[in-house]
Structure 1
Amino acid sequence: MAAVRLLVSFLVFSVSFAIDDDDYLIEFKKKLKNSSALDSTWIKGTNPCDNKKKWLGVDCSEAGHTSVSGLFLMNLGLSGDAGNIDLGSLWNLQELRAISLENNSFSGPMPEFNRLNKLKAIFLAGNEFSGEIASDFFIKSGNLKKVELARNKFSGPVPELAQKSLQILDLSYNKLQGEIPQSMSKFKATAFEGNPDLCGAVVSKQCKVQDSLATGESTESGSSAKWIFLGIVAALLLVTVIFRARRKDNNFRVLGKENLDEEVQIHTPSSNMRSLSSSRKGRNTDSSSGRSSRIHSHSGKSASDLVVINEERGIFGLSDLMKASAEVLGNGGMGSAYKAVMANGLSVVVKRLREMNKFSRDEFDVEIRKLGSPRHPNILPALAYHYRKEEKLLVSEFVPKGSLMFLLHGNRSSDELNWPTRLRIIKGIAEGLEFLHTEFANQDLPHGNLKSNNILLSSSYEPLLTDYGLHALISNTQSAQALFAYNSPEAVQYQQVSPKSDVYCLGIVILEIMTGKFPSQYNPKGGTDVVQWVNQAISEDRIRELIDPEIGNASNSVDQMEKMLYIAAACTENDHTKRIEMREAARNIGQVQV
């Protein structure tokens, strides 16, 4: 009898415990907006930890009983009242260890996750959280192992995260300012990239006095933009002084050693583009050699060594570039970049190419001109280059809509990337890549650096491939560090690359588009291993689960989406001898329908 009473007591205790957790979660759901994806499984009175009727996104410390230990509510379009998130009911989940709200639509200040004492992992990337995070916000969160806050709008100083337990940190692509604390020096620069106002040893950028002061006091709105502008103006003035000191005729033939650690982009309205193109006949070109002549100043003297290799957007010189208004864009694997808007309205991106001292000027000219020659609707050709032993610049057109990576993981409306749009993007990428494989058929890596950040989008969502064909220009050691094709299995294992390495990169991009996940192949310290995920899903016959919920609701197209995932799996085959060729990949992609 005592045993029976004990058993009954245990069952009553277990049921009431589960109901408590279910009450807390239902209360949390009531304060969410656009939470219909949870309706079919988040049912009051049921056990969130029951494997047979598992609640979407809920993980438990022991399947079937005990407490909720994780909430993984990614890519569901969730938001809160006025964008904010109310965590009040979750504070009662005493065993909650991990929470992920990645790629939703939450906004407002940093939620009070620091009140969840046992939390080990926080994943908030791809939302619209903003404002400063108090420097001592995480001080009581002594168990943290993973903190990912990338692609939000957090501003102000970097919060102190000195926990010895912390293994993964990603604060990239926010609006953080000032010096990175020395206690966080164990993390790589990629954890802080996309925050141009940060400085310190981690990002190899010396802090100014103003930067150091800014970490201890609030700044007025727009002050960071002011300092960026003043810094650029100072750099341009320094360049001008160097140029005039070396060449009193002010011909800008030699580019000074100013700090061009960012890309510069220059935009040209379509009307200006047409007028510039129509004026080419009045410019001096060397038709016999097939090369553009050096740009001349109004006085008739040589103005620069900026060589135009594609005249479709007009002709301009280095002096025009140095007079342009400019802004820092950031650092990439191939070098830093600026955006520049010249006086005539032309907008361009200027990239500083690192470690490209392999060729003489003439050899460099031959190779770089290939980058300006492709004519295809899905290829963005280079416009001009500057060559000097110590400095090489590549100029291309600025595309206002930005990169595919930003659109996938940044701020956008929930219906902006529907299935027809994603399919059009994938097909355009495949067509552009197949064209490069024909155009540069004799090269080991016709593209070499295909990833979503190097795919720009036109206003009509047509993809434009950029950063292609650079493999022949750079040293092998730099290639391994900078080109994404060197992340292919054959490059990692055997230090071998081939056109099939491009196919592998294509597969990663397709999986990124189809799942909506940020691939860990781009950053090992963050994201999802999409290759392992798709292979496991295929082996367990659950590939449909990989489809981004934002497009998975189009049930009449799910079969076509699955076809695309199988194509991506074939592109990312680990054994490159079994991996499909580019032509076959493009043909298969072309057969997928809306």
Structure 2
Amino acid sequence: MSMPPSDAEALLKFKGSLTNAVSLSSWDPSINPKPPCTANISNWVGLFCLNNRVLGLRLESMGLTGNMELESLSSMPMLRMVSLMNNTFVGPLPNIKMLPHLRSIYLSYNHFSGQIPDDAFTGMPRLRKVYLSNNEFSGKIPSSLAILPTLLVLRLDANKFQGEIPNFHHKNNLKIINFSNNNLEGPIPPTLRTFEASSFRGNPLLCGPPLTNSCQFVNPTMLVMKTLLIVIMIAFIVAIVVSILAISRLRSQKKLNEQHYSTASKFHTQASSKYVKPPPVYVKTKSLAEHYDPRSPKPDQYNHGHSKKEKGEQGKLIFLRTDGLTFDLQDLLRASAEILGSASFGSSYKAVILDGQAVVVVKSALPSVIVPHGHLKSSNILLDESFEPLLTDYALSPLINLDHAQQIIMPYKSPEYAQLGRITKKTDVWSFGILILEILTGKFPENYITSRHNSDSDLASWVNMMITEKRTSDVFDVEMGGVGTSKAELLKLLKIGLSCCEENVERRLEMKEALEQIEDLNEGQTSSSTNTDHHNFGEYSSSLVTTTNTERDAYRAV
């Protein structure tokens, strides 16, 4: 007895919507003339069969991608399970509700993104297991999930969901849930408070049991009154500022008129006398010698005769140099600043070495301070014309309010603070590693993008992902000069940066070790091989989250 043609046609149509489907070569009737199922035996890869019909699809870790069409499987009435975990699918959530008889859907560890429609799970009364973890979904959790009558397992962790958790109506059926590591907020619904606190961690704005932070409810009337009071205070302050500016403007205009009248009178009474221009202000810069160059004009050598620009040049700043060149304030403001990482690899490399040395010196000088520097980032490193770095903002962390420091100070964006709520003596090493990665990748400084550490989206994770996908050449900044002749050194320096960014504090390098490795790289630069095995970086790649025995058993049950 052969399987009806409709199932085979549906599977081939589904395969046609995929790209890189090399793993599905057995799904080709010209190569494999057998039907997909013979009784309970599968003739095509990735199928579960029962009585010559396809019961489930398990196409995991096959490198599949493309805009898959789940609608093509709607003609398979016996289909109960679809698993496409650990592939590279992108885009929005597929149209799952076109498979109303589905009982289990596994889409974890892909790159799906965007908001899920609120009715995405409408009309699926038999759906029992939903795995959407480790994707990039955003927006609110769809309310149609909360009303599924037979839902047993729900995994939404490691996404970007926002808003409040909906109230689940059939709480007695739920066995496993996980909402951790999202951007959810508000109180946890009473129907879900019997689950472990780990199911909700990683959402700073969630509150209530089983979490330890309690919810603070605001009286609506008090909130309106407080808002009204703030608006009145702002309006009062604005009125005062406008009044002060108006009075100041009137006084300035009156003074200007008086000066104009006085000047006009003097011009009529002393028409034959010469107008004496106030001397310009001379400013010493850091590069001036003790004595001016004889070629430079002295204050008493300037022509004090009348000219059309005399009035407009009163109080003008003039900067003198020993080589006879002069420039004013406008010239100084138009000068372009040196940007860390924008020069060749050699210059950037030099800056990194000296930067690391400076931090080591600070650690030796301040052994009792947990984080000697405490605010190491690219914007706190100034470069002179020879790319010699100067570190700024030493030891500011203890002087800043904790609430404000958590938003702007680098140690409070480190993995150890996100995981343990404290900083360590290796936090400066993590900041130094991020600095190395910013220089090599040319990425915008991470401390301006995120207010806290996120192991799923930080710069080190991105570099690890690129290395895992064998796209190491795409990591480096294309604007960095000299990359073509020093690729091996770049890769070694990249490895040092990743070692400094290790989330495990015990495995993270000491600052002294990082500096020694960079110095060794500098000494052996000319003799090092240019053939670098990208697989050496595999030990820095993040591993996939493994499921518990309970979840694994739930996964196996269809």
Q: TM-score, normalised by structure 2?
A: 0.44
TM-score (norm 1): 0.42
Whose strand proportion is higher, 1 or 2?
A: 1
Name the structure, 1 or 2, with higher relative contact order (CA <8 Å, separation 6+): 1
Larger radius of gyration, structure 1 or 2? 2
